[in-house]
Amino acid sequence: MTRRKEIAMLEVTTDWYLSLAAILFTIGFLGMMIRKNALIMFMCIELMLNAVNLTFISASKHFGQIEGQVFVFFVLVVAAAEVVVGLAIIVSIFRKQSSASVDVLNVARG
């Protein structure tokens, strides 16, 4: 009982969602910086995009406005398109060097 009460006392405010989104975004960003496997980096990008989506939805709920949720759909569509193109690129990279590491792809270095 007491435990249920405790749980009921813990009110999940917008801040929680925003913090979660920030954490997710940071994880995604760090992943981008650290990992060199193209597939993992791709997943990191997806993570960041969804963190942003979460922010949109929380803000939308917080302010009681629908536009944020509309934007999420846009982001989802763009992400889907990006997945298609991005995966195709990754496949061709893999075919070329039989690994998905992006560090070898430094032809354009200064």
Partner 1 sequence: MWLEVSLEFIFLLSIFLPFLTAIFLFLNKKLFNELMTNFFTLNAALLSFAIAAYSFVALALNKFNGVNIELFQWISNPDISIGFTLDGLSGIMLILVTGLSFVIQLFSTSYMEKDENYSNYFIYFNFFVFSMLLLVMSSNFLVMFFGWELVGLSSYLLISFWSKKPAAAKAGNKAFVINRVGDFGFLIGLMIILDNFNTFDFYTILNNTNEVSENTITLISLFLLLGAFGKSAQFPLFSWLPDAMEGPTPASALIHAATMVTAGVFMLVRISPLLQHSNLASLLITVFGLITALLAAFSAINQYDIKKVLAYSTISQLGFMFIAIGAGAYVAAIFHLVTHAFFKALLFLGAGAVIHSMHHEQDIRKMGGLRKQMPITASMMGVGTLAISGIPPLAGFWSKDEILASVFANGGIYYIFWALTLGAAFLTAFYMGRHWLLIFEKDNGFEHSDINEAPKAMTRPLLLLGIFSIFIGFINTPFFHGLEKVLHVNLEYVEVTHLPEGITLIVLAVLSIGAGFTGLIIAFLFFGIELHKRIDLQKFKLEYPIKLIKDLSFNVLYLNKFGNLFFVSGMKNLTRKVAVVVDGILIDGSVNFVSTAFNTTSKITSTTQTGMVRNYVVYFGLFLLLLIVLFIATPMLQS
Please say whether the beta carbons of 66 and 36 come within 8 A: no
Binding mask 51-70 for partner 1 (x = CB under 8 A): --------------------
The DSSP secondary structure of 8-59, one letter per residue, reads HH----HHHHHHHHHHHHHHHHHHHHH--BHHHHHHHHHHHHHHHHHHHHHH
Residue 36: CB minimum distance to partner 1, A: 7
Closer CB to partner 1, 17 or 29, in the complex: 29
Residue 106 binding partner 1, by CB under 8 A: yes
Residue 27 binding partner 1, by CB under 8 A: no
Enumerate binding residues for partner 1 (CB under 8 A).
Answer: 29, 32-34, 36, 41, 102-103, 105-110
